[in-house]
């Protein structure tokens, strides 16, 4: 009943918000809109027309608008920012967490970035400029410089006073990192430890010196694994001299995980660099067509192979019936092995298990799967066509094809990982087409060898 009431209140709020926009009532709009959670504000904002959004820019302060912007997809934010007055947009950037502002600016062209940085607060603009220099998808590009540090020589009283002064501008205060006079990272203190310690104690006496950190050039995917394994809320980022440069917070890592998962999914589907939304038909074609052209030529290889066995088909036409079955089974099996292996590489399980051990396990899996499927098709053909030799040819071909397809699905991503190539590039369509070629060779090769028994 309470959820229904909440839902009714939400619907009433939406109606009142639309009414306020229609009547150009700033006070009514702010009263209704700002009572909502920022996520709900974002959901409503997305549904509005560009004219209505332009109207809202005059109703909300840059700080209030920044809270909405934080919930947007990066591609959507780039579009929203171009709708705003440049000065207003620059002030919104001032209010955003530095790492979020950098992520958004990385989606803009150089002229837009230069324009916004010129209009922004000088200190905020300098922080963003510094972060924009880091390579995309590294620790430097996703870290924030809005954090709290204390010097190891401070007393707990001094540290708490410092924390009270700096906390309003910090993205998180659950961990307080400790530096020396040269700004080198020397320790970490939890907020709880600071609260329960005696005021006269010195920070260096109670801090933990065993700090897990990331280097500024580390890949964001490795950092995501690190924070997942240690259950961190924040991770410090240092340079080659161990000087503290910034921190990476858990909300940034959630965005990274989402981005990496989307990237891997698009590659497994045979689509390059796929954005989630707002792609025109032409842009979508540009991203999908390269893989399709490659697969088209690989498919021609499959067709030409079948042509090489034309005489075999002429003598035993029934063989053509089982081509889709064998090719489909091999493709599906290879895709299964590929998906499992890519996931194990992403989670780190494949590395801990070892290259050869994993291949042996996949070989055994492929053998058992192939044996069962092969035996099953032999029985089906025996009952259907009363031809044991045809059943044995098809069953043997399926068994060998499934074994090879399983090994290929596991081997290719492991090999690519060893060569420092993204294993997701061994996409589902690619591995399926490769296995089609292999299975056709095995099938018709076996049929040709035992032609005298089939005719």
Mean pLDDT of 336-354: 75
Q: Are 102 and 141 in contact (CB under 8 A)?
A: yes
Domains (range + CATH), the chain: 37-133 (1.25.60.10), 149-265 (3.10.580.10), 281-454 (1.10.357.20)
Cross-strand bridge partners of residue 190: 175
pLDDT at 291 > cutoff 90: no
Query: Mind listing the pLDDT tens digit for each residue in 442-454?
Result: 999 999 888 887 7
Q: Which of 303, 410, 395, 296 is nearest to 363 (CA)?
A: 410
Mean pLDDT of 323-347: 83
Encode burial over 169-195: b for 16+ CB neighbours within 10 A, e otherwise: ebbbbebbbbbeeebebbbbbebeebe
pLDDT at 3 > cutoff 50: no
Mean pLDDT of 16-41: 89
Cross-strand bridge partners of residue 202: 155
Q: Give me the pLDDT at residue 253, please.
A: 82
State both tokens at 385: 């066509």
Mean pLDDT of 314-329: 87
């Amino acid at each position: 009943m309470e959820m229904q009431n909440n839902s009714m209140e939400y619907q009433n709020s939406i109606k009142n918000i639309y009414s306020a926009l229609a009547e150009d009532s700033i006070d009514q709009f702010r009263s209704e809109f700002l009572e909502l959670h920022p996520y709900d504000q974002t959901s409503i904002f997305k549904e509005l027309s560009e004219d209505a959004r332009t109207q809202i820019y005059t109703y909300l302060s840059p700080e209030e608008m920044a809270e909405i912007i934080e919930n947007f997809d990066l591609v959507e934010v780039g579009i929203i920012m171009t709708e705003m007055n440049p000065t207003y947009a620059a002030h919104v950037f001032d209010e955003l967490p530095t790492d979020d502002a950098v992520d958004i600016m990385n989606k803009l062209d150089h002229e837009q970035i230069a324009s916004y940085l010129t209009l922004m607060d000088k200190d905020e603009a300098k922080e963003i400029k510094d972060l924009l220099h880091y390579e995309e998808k590294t620790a430097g590009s996703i870290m924030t410089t809005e954090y709290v540090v204390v010097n190891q020589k401070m007393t707990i009283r001094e540290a708490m006073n410092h924390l009270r002064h700096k906390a309003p501008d910090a993205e998180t205060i659950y961990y307080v990192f400790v530096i020396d006079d040269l700004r080198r990272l020397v320790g970490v203190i939890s907020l709880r430890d600071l609260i329960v310690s005696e005021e006269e104690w010195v920070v260096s006496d109670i801090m933990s010196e065993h700090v897990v950190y990331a280097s500024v050039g580390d890949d964001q995917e490795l950092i995501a694994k690190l924070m997942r394994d240690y259950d961190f809320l924040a991770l410090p980022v240092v340079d080659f001299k161990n000087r503290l440069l910034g921190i990476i917070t858990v909300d940034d890592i959630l965005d990274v995980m989402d981005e990496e998962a989307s990237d891997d999914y698009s590659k497994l589907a045979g689509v390059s660099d796929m954005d989630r939304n707002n792609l025109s038909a032409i842009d979508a074609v540009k991203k999908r067509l390269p893989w399709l052209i490659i697969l088209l030529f690989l498919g021609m290889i499959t067709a030409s192979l079948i042509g090489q066995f034309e005489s075999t088909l002429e003598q035993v036409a029934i063989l053509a019936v089982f081509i889709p079955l064998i090719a489909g089974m091999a493709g599906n099996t290879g895709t299964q092995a590929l998906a499992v292996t890519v996931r194990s590489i992403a989670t780190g399980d494949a590395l801990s298990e070892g290259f050869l051990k994993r291949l042996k396990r996949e070989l055994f899996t492929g053998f058992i799967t192939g044996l069962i499927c092969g035996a099953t098709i032999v029985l089906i053909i025996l009952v259907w066509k009363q031809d044991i030799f045809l059943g044995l040819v098809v069953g043997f071909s399926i068994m060998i094809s499934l074994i090879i397809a399983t090994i290929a699905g596991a081997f290719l991503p492991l090999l690519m990982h060893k060569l420092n190539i993204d294993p997701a590039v061994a996409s589902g369509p690619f591995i399926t087409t490769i296995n089609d070629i292999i299975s056709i060779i095995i099938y018709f090769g076996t049929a040709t060898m035992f032609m005298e028994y089939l005719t």
